Amino acid sequence: MTRNIKKLLIANRGEIAVRIQRACRKLGIQSIQICSQADRDAPFVASADENLCIGPASAGQSYLDIHRIVAAARLCNADAVHPGYGFLSENAEFSDAVEAAGMAFVGPTGDVIRKMGDKISAKKAMLTAGVPCIPGYEGHATSNTDTLAPEAEKVGYPLIIKAAAGGGGRGMRVVHEAQELGTALAQTREEARLAFGNPSVYLERYLEHPRHVELQILADGQGNVIVLGERDCSLQRRHQKIIEEAPAPGIPRDKIDALSKTCSTACRAIGYRGAGTFEFLYEDGIFSFIEMNTRIQVEHPVTEEIYGFDLVAAQLRVANGEQLWVTQDELAPRGHALECRINAEDPGTFMPSPGTITKWIEPTGEGVRVETHCCTGSVISAHYDSMIAKIICHADTRIEAIDRMKAALDAFTVEGIATNAPLHRRLLDDPVISKGGMDIHYLEAKLEGRT
Ligand code: ADP
């Protein structure tokens, strides 16, 4: 039962909006780009088939306003809405509101987002489906410190307190010993209440030297699921990914294959539809689930490169009601791909660097892909995320992909604002990063001069 999507509203901005517009063009779908007043003159708005300014710069009154976006979609006669990543992409009410208005939401149903968006219920669902998880205490921890202290002892120290509604690396606190527990619980709960409107927290053993490895899945919601391999996203700062790659160096294929099978089964069990990511920590040869992202991820292009598979177009086809057109056996990765996230920020202090780009020259050449909404003259607003581009390099081997990335970064010229491109360039010369397989703490240790 196909839905015949002809017009799609993009409920996002920046590079992912451009990426979705490209997928629309490929499939002959008309794109409608919403924007805030701050983005009105941005090229990503003009490049869509239609555009509509829906509110002021503040995201709360534009990109995060469900009512305005659904009203805009109705006004423009859209028959589908793509939420991108961030903003409302993992908001169950948004998915429900879009479907209730008779349009297709490009992503899972509200109920599935609700279940997987709450990290406690996601973890419980995964445990039921047989997916390995980090040992911890998932009981909805509205209970006080006295009742949690014995649970914390069972989990063992160091442990990490995590907000059930947390995201974007926020709402987490590491506790090294029992006497820190009370204060840390109170602080994390309060932070979670303010940031996510939900103070629930849970406890997890804190892994000291894990890697972050995630699986990309695509499900049609009709019982068919494929797993498009893994990505290694261990290079992080403040729990935010900086460089991602696929495949993950040095992890035995049979371990990945076994995990993929378990995750496919879990997807069927939860009635998953669309693209999604199972995130794991990998330590001492063991995978442990941390969370599921029910949307397209920033780092999806590394998977697209090695599989030659357009994930965003696939999202649209699945939302259109198509059955999966490839089987797991037909998928074969080729070579290695890396992605560097380019942010408008000072490469030393990490302070945002908004302003006008006075010169912009992108790298080109074989195996080099740039995803961006920027060009010479673009104004980088302080209102939104500082990511201005992603450079993706693909080659037959990891070493060649790194060399290609170094050349691409050398050829990349941005003037008028500061970017973290020089930091990326420096990181790629690091012997540990060149070798691969570093843990999630490596980058911060290096930046602080501890390695
Ligand atoms: P978010 O939703 O905010 O991205 P995640 O649960 O995905 O939060 O965790 C983000 C990052 O935090 C992980 O990639 C990892 O670096 C770190 N982290 C999360 N849980 C643990 C843990 N139990 N032990 C050690 N590090 C962790």
Beta strands in 18-97 (DSSP E): 30-36, 50-55, 80-82
> What does the mean pLDDT of the chain come to?
95
User: Which residue is listed with tokens 């995630």?
Assistant: 214
Question: 90: Cβ below 6 Å to ligand 1?
Answer: no
Query: For 150-183, how does the pLDDT look when each residue is reduced to its tens digit (9 = 90+)?
Result: 999 999 999 999 999 888 888 999 999 999 999 9
d(CA 239, CA 432): 19
Q: Supply the residue whose CA is at minimum distance from atom 19 of ligand 1.
A: 290
Is residue 143 predicted with pLDDT exceeding 70? Answer: no
Residue 135 CB contacts under 8 Å (≥ 6 apart), including other chains: 155, 204, 205
d(CA 199, CA 174): 17
Pick the CATH number of 7-106 from 3.30.470.20, 2.40.50.100, 3.20.19.10, 3.40.50.20: 3.40.50.20
- Position in ligand 1 atom list of the atom nearest CA 168: 3
Active site residue 19: no
The pLDDT of residue 170 is 87
The pLDDT of residue 167 is 86
Q: Supply the residue whose CA is at minimum distance from atom 2 of ligand 1.
A: 167
Question: 207: Cβ below 6 Å to ligand 1?
Answer: yes
269: which strand partners? none
For domain 135-205, the CATH architecture is 2-Layer Sandwich (3.30)
Is residue 141 very low, low, confident or very high in pLDDT (cuts 50, 70, 90)?
Answer: low
Question: 135: Cβ below 6 Å to ligand 1?
Answer: no
CATH classification (class only), 211-447: alpha beta
Q: Could you tell which of 243, 281, 287 is best to mutate to test the pocket of ligand 1, judged by most ligand atoms within 8 Å of the CB? A: 281
% of the chain at pLDDT higher than 70: 99
Q: Residue 1 is inside which H or E element, if any?
A: none
Catalytic hit among 231, 295, 369, 404 = 295
State in Å: Cα 69 to ligand 1 middle: 31
Give, rounded to a whole angstrom, the gap between the first and last alpha carbons of the chain: 56
C-alpha angle 39-340-386 in degrees, rounded to nearest 5: 30
Category of 169 on φ-ψ map: left (φ > 0), alpha (ψ -120 to 50) or beta: left
